[in-house]
């Protein structure tokens, strides 16, 4: 049985993951309206990943005998200056999520909950990949100064991203 402090923290993370999905859907809508279907696709896939993360936490809390309690999801931004501004926001958001995951790990360590530490290690590793992926996009946008043919090429490249539920592996 999982202790109440961890249940509360994991419930907060479920909310944070669903907020992330909502944020990325908002960014998808922004890119769609701006005519960047590839970047919209990238964001939609990102939103799907966040829902799968929330589900993984949801299932874990239930599996350990805790009670999932869903809370309202805070509103998200809907406007950005340009693609660089959006991806800077993504980078900042993923950095925040990394902090949340690290805090969960700190709580699991403090509570001496080995099962939760093992469970969270996947998310620690996932956040390293998330931050690196977004940083690469930010670097590419900086190289092309966020406009011109380079922006169109990057948008086309992002169209090829497909959702793979990495939480099932």
For the stretch 106-159, pLDDT in tens is 999 999 999 999 999 999 999 999 999 999 999 999 999 877 899 999 999 999
Residues sharing a CB contact under 8 Å with residue 15, sequence separation 6 or more, in sequence order: 70, 71, 73
Report H helices in 64-162. Answer: 83-110, 114-143, 148-158
Domain assignment present for 19: yes
Alpha-carbon distance of 116 to 106, in angstroms, equals: 11
Q: What is the mean pLDDT of residues 22-45?
A: 98
Domain count, the chain: 1
Domain assignment present for 168: no
Q: What CATH number is given to the structural domain containing 29? A: 1.20.1260.10
User: Which pTM does this prediction carry?
Assistant: 0.94
For the stretch 71-85, pLDDT in tens is 999 999 999 999 999
Domain assignment present for 95: yes
Domain assignment present for 103: yes
For the stretch 84-112, pLDDT in tens is 999 999 999 999 999 999 999 999 999 99
- Domain span at residue 136 reads 4-72+79-160
């Amino acid at each position: 049985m999982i202790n109440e402090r961890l249940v509360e923290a994991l419930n907060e993370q479920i909310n944070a993951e669903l907020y992330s999905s909502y944020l990325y859907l908002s960014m998808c809508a922004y890119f769609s309206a701006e005519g960047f279907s590839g970047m919209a696709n990238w964001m939609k896939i990102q939103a799907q990943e966040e829902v799968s993360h929330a589900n993984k936490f949801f299932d874990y809390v239930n599996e350990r005998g805790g009670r999932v309690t869903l809370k309202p999801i805070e509103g998200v931004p809907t406007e950005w200056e340009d693609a660089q501004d959006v991806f800077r926001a993504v980078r900042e958001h993923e950095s925040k999520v990394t902090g949340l995951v690290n805090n969960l790990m700190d709580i699991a360590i403090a509570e001496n909950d080995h099962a939760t530490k093992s469970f969270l290690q996947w998310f620690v590793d996932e956040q390293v990949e998330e931050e690196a992926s977004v940083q690469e996009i930010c670097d590419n946008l900086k190289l092309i100064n966020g406009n011109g043919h380079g922006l169109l090429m990057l948008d086309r490249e992002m169209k090829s991203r497909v959702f793979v539920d990495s939480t099932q592996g």
